[in-house]
Amino acid sequence: MKLLVVAATEFEIAPYILNNTAADILITGVGSPACMYMLTKRLQQFKYDFVIQAGIAGTFKNSFPLGETFFIKSDVFADLGIYENESFFTLFEKNFADPNTAPFKNGWLENSLKNTFNVSTAKSITVNTVTDNFLQTSLFTKKYDPDLESMEGAAFHYVCVQENVSFLQLRSVSNFVGERIKANWKIKESILNLNHHLSRIVSELAICNS
């Protein structure tokens, strides 16, 4: 099985890179545009059986422990739309796009893969700007009821679904959304947990398909 591990920054998967022998590595840079371009380019150059994106994320849910790693089942470009009168509308709600035209299902980018990876499942949104803006957080929470937030997840899902390649997005919770005091974040713990599960999953995939 030919595997590709994708991350926005080398920092997020540094422990895995040190001992990796089973997968190719792609560092895309931060944000959806960089992720979409770099991943699409790589998938046009090489044929992969399975692609894993690994990174840290913020959580909207107080019940989600900092440091825990999740399988992202659904993702969406949360801020792609129209702000009007302190309300937010998606392109689908304004009839600029069909929410059920591929690669979308009900406006979401779904991973049809069954979660057999011994991590909990979560729903995430992808944003272009991470802020502590209360109104933005409230709008996104009301519209999407998300568990997590990242800056690349939906871009990763979009490319993988369009390119018809099996994929898995792994996210470890480093902070609560809106918390900008970095001293309260659990970056070290989230990266250690993320890389533990990443290494385990890559090893399992390599063994099962060898």
Considering all CA atoms of the chain, what is the largest pairwise distance in Å, rounded to the nearest integer? 56
Q: Tell me the pLDDT tens digit for each residue of 40-91.
A: 999 999 999 999 999 999 999 999 999 999 999 999 999 999 998 888 999 9
If one counts the domains in the chain, the total is: 1
* Angle 149-59-195 from CA coordinates, rounded to 5°: 85
**Spatial separation of the C-alpha atoms in residues 67 and 172, rounded to whole Å:** 6
The pTM assigned to this predicted structure is 0.95
Q: Which of 52, 98, 92, 60 is nearest to 175 (CA)?
A: 60
CATH of the domain at 150: 3.40.50.1580
Q: Tell me the pLDDT tens digit for each residue of 129-179.
A: 987 778 888 889 999 999 999 999 999 999 999 999 999 999 999 999 988
In eight-state DSSP terms, residue 68 is -
The whole domain housing 32 covers 3-208
